[in-house]
Amino acid sequence: MIGTQLETRRDGIVARVTIDNPRKLNIFSISVLQEFTKAVNNLAENPNIRAVVITGAGDKAFVGGADLETLGSLDPASAREFIGLVHAACAAMRECPVPVIARINGWCLGAGLELAACCDLRIAADSAVFGMPEVRLGIPSVVEAAVLPRLVGAGRARWLVLTGETIDAQTALTWGLIERISTSDELDFQVNRALDAILAGEPEAIRAQKRLCKLWEEAPLAESIRISIDEFARSYESGEPNRRVAAFRAARRKQN
């Protein structure tokens, strides 16, 4: 139920991971979560991968949430195990050393929204719908739902998790939950445009930037600045910044 495809673009290799169960809105079962996490972790070990795109099969859903049959059969012990699998899938996004783009093509609910929130960039079709309906099923939104206040602010995050109401793509864009919106027909164009922008960067610099983005969300300010300085200095060990700056200056001289 998880499809992984490697694609060679002009400036590098991109991986596309598809959650493939469109008849059930690409929902997360135990097996799908395990397979998904394994697939992403395997990609993370590939030094040639420059970026990853996550999406759901079909045009109705990114991930429509967790499997209701599974949720209805849990007890306290198995509930802890299941939510641990959700956490592992989300953590794989944050730990992946290259940028991860969520291509959101429809319903993005519950665990699916948590997964999207853990990607680096989110690009959605204008038909996409977002929500955290767990409280209506008698359970709180947990694990990577904790990322939501960082994206949309405390009040809007509370609105999502306390009311269980859905919001449309335009509202998600206004709130800062997604970065781009497009028609369904142009969704791949917008995703590819973002990929090309990422691939224009120097590969190791992009990996360093991904590490720093995660650090900035988690560490105190002083630590973030200290480690940022280390990353800046380390980038010159390869000599690539010197080469790129020289090439940029030469191109600018030609233009003038």
| pLDDT at residue number 115 | 98
| pLDDT at residue number 249 | 87
| Helix H or strand E segment including 12 | strand 12-19
- Partner residues linked to 7 by β-bridges: 14
**Ranges of the chain with pLDDT below 70:** none
| pLDDT at residue number 247 | 84
Q: Measured between alpha carbons, how far is 114 from 89 in angstroms, rounded to an integer?
A: 10
Question: pLDDT per residue over 46-100, tens digit each?
Answer: 999 999 999 999 999 999 999 999 999 999 999 999 999 999 999 999 999 999 9
| pLDDT at residue number 193 | 97
Q: Which CATH number fits domain 2-199: 3.40.50.410, 3.10.290.10, 3.90.226.10, 3.10.580.10?
A: 3.90.226.10
Indicate left, alpha or beta for 241 from its phi (over 0: left) and psi (-120 to 50: alpha). alpha
| pLDDT at residue number 253 | 83
| pLDDT at residue number 3 | 95
| pLDDT at residue number 220 | 95
Question: pLDDT per residue over 174-191, tens digit each?
Answer: 999 999 999 999 999 999
| pLDDT at residue number 58 | 96
Helices marked H in 96-186: 111-117, 148-152, 154-163, 169-175
pTM value is 0.95
